[in-house]
Amino acid sequence: MVYHKTEKVLEKQQSRKRKILNAARELLAEKEMGSASIKAIAKKAGIATGTFYLYFKDKDALIDTMLKEIYKELLDLIKKERAPYTNGFDKLEATMKACINMFMSKKNLARILLDLTPQNNAVFNTKFTDIINDLIWLTKIDLDELMEQKLIPEQDTQVSATAFVGAFREVILAWINSDEPLNEEQAYRTLINFNLRGLGKS
Amino acid sequence: MVYHKTEKVLEKQQSRKRKILNAARELLAEKEMGSASIKAIAKKAGIATGTFYLYFKDKDALIDTMLKEIYKELLDLIKKERAPYTNGFDKLEATMKACINMFMSKKNLARILLDLTPQNNAVFNTKFTDIINDLIWLTKIDLDELMEQKLIPEQDTQVSATAFVGAFREVILAWINSDEPLNEEQAYRTLINFNLRGLGKS
DNA sequence: ATAAAAAATGAATACCAGTTCAATACATGT
DNA sequence: ACATGTATTGAACTGGTATTCATTTTTTAT
């Protein structure tokens, strides 16, 4: 006798995997991240703890998958928002605006992607660092282009890109963890101007 | 019968407390911070695990004390380096140079003060956030003064200060965790210029 | 030197999170 | 309906860390 999964079962399984990923996202995004235990995730996803291991090899695999997913969502949005522009500064500004909008509307995503405060998990930290480094690397590409075109002064673009991302990250995190800035417009402009001026936009 | 501690004993106890604090610093500064267990700290300090609890109420108390100490050391150095200057920009630059020098020469301090990557400890995270916020607050004071004097354009100084600290932190961390920049001088100047230009130094 | 007081010890304890697994429930094909 | 393959369950297991505490060592005062 051979057993073949029916459509209904396949769908149920996919839905469960999604539920696990969503539960993990929600729990990780909450302030007290200690709460993101397998037991808690399983409970939130509506399954038994053992069931978790039918969908993911271990906790590391879950975190890996989750971070990849979130990062992809961010990159896709950035790509879309940058598409209309060819000028380097416009592209950078579009990138920042895309990030601000995404992070402010989906604060839980932002907490996971920008805030590494509370993780004890080695894979999480490694993956996380990789993502930040990747963002810095993408920024550096833009800066090298701008420097090539003499639109910004001679500088160590690796350092500038790191500073750029660092400034951005700290501000967004402050907004997320406290309450919004009083004057959104001015705050946004201040951040964007800080970074663009920092590069030496002439 | 009444027991009074003799000088020798008091000194020995103070020295032990120091040894515990130093052991904690060294272990926390190492890459794999999971190793900073009470057992490891006690071992490094040359005492039994139980003895630790004669000197600190619990692990949280140790971390609290340690972070306060380190932060005080940093603030003292900053204060000293700023003393010669009255101009706002000079003061900011002196602050940055003091931090760069301290962090690059005492990388373990920097890892503890700037990099919260691997802690699971709630008190550590809270304390850490407090310290960063304090640094931002101190920066904001300088910026308000500069804005008052019309030396930088109108802006949300809370945001600028946050960006300033964030850029600085990210770059220093990158230097600490990888290897030094190839061209130290240019890298330092790039970072300092980024931040000063970011403010809109005219 | 001796007894009381304090400090130090480290094995035992308590606790908590990730993971396993024997038992159970459900799905499939005949 | 039945037999067999697969999925689910949750209690038990594992490993690791903070903390305690009965015992031992050291210090003090007589």
Q: Is the CB of B59 under 7 A from strand D?
A: yes
Give the pLDDT band (50/70/90) at residue A104.
confident
Q: Is the CB of B60 under 7 A from strand D?
A: yes
Report pLDDT for B151.
96
User: Strand D within 7 Å of which CB atoms in B 22-51?
Assistant: 34, 36-39, 49-50
B23, B22, B18, B28: which is closest to B121 by C-alpha? B28
Find the angle CA(A149)-CA(A151)-CA(A152) to the nearest 5 degrees.
Answer: 115
Using DSSP, state whether B95 is helix, strand or coil.
Answer: helix
How many alpha carbons lie under 13 Å from residue A54 in its C-beta half-sphere? 10
Q: Is residue A132 predicted with pLDDT exceeding 80? A: yes
The verdict on A87 touching B (C-beta cutoff 8 Å) is no
Tens digit of pLDDT for each residue in B76-120? 999 999 999 999 999 999 999 998 888 887 777 777 777 654 445
pTM above 0.85, yes or no: yes
The verdict on A172 touching B (C-beta cutoff 8 Å) is no
Give the pLDDT band (50/70/90) at residue A2.
confident
Across all residues in chain A, what is the average pLDDT? 89
CA–C1' nearest nucleotide, residue A60: C18
CA distance B49 to B37: 10
Alpha carbon separation from A105 to A30, A156, A174, A176 (Å, rounded): 15, 33, 15, 10
Give the pLDDT band (50/70/90) at residue A118.
very low
Tens digit of pLDDT for each residue in A53-93? 999 999 999 989 998 999 999 999 999 999 999 999 999 99
CA distance B165 to A166: 8
- Helix or strand holding residue B18 (H, E): helix B7-29
Tell me the CA–C1' distance in angstroms for A120 and D24.
38
Report pLDDT for A113.
77
Q: Tell me which chain B residue has its CA closest to the CA of residue A120.
A: B120
Give the pLDDT band (50/70/90) at residue B129.
confident
- B32 burial via Cβ count (<10 Å: 0-12, 13-18, 19+): exposed
Residues 6+ apart with CB under 8 A from B25: B66, B70, B108, B109, B112
Report pLDDT for A195.
95
Which one of A96-105, B87-96, B177-186 scores highest in mean pLDDT?
B87-96
Residue numbers in B near A174 (CB within 8 A): 136, 162
Give chain B's radius of gyration (CA, Å).
20
Report whether B157 contacts B188 (CB < 8 A): no
Tens digit of pLDDT for each residue in B34-83? 668 999 999 999 999 999 999 999 999 998 999 899 899 999 999 999 99
Q: What is the mean pLDDT of residues B153-179?
A: 90
Q: Among A127-136, A138-147, B13-22, which is the least confidently predicted range?
A: A127-136
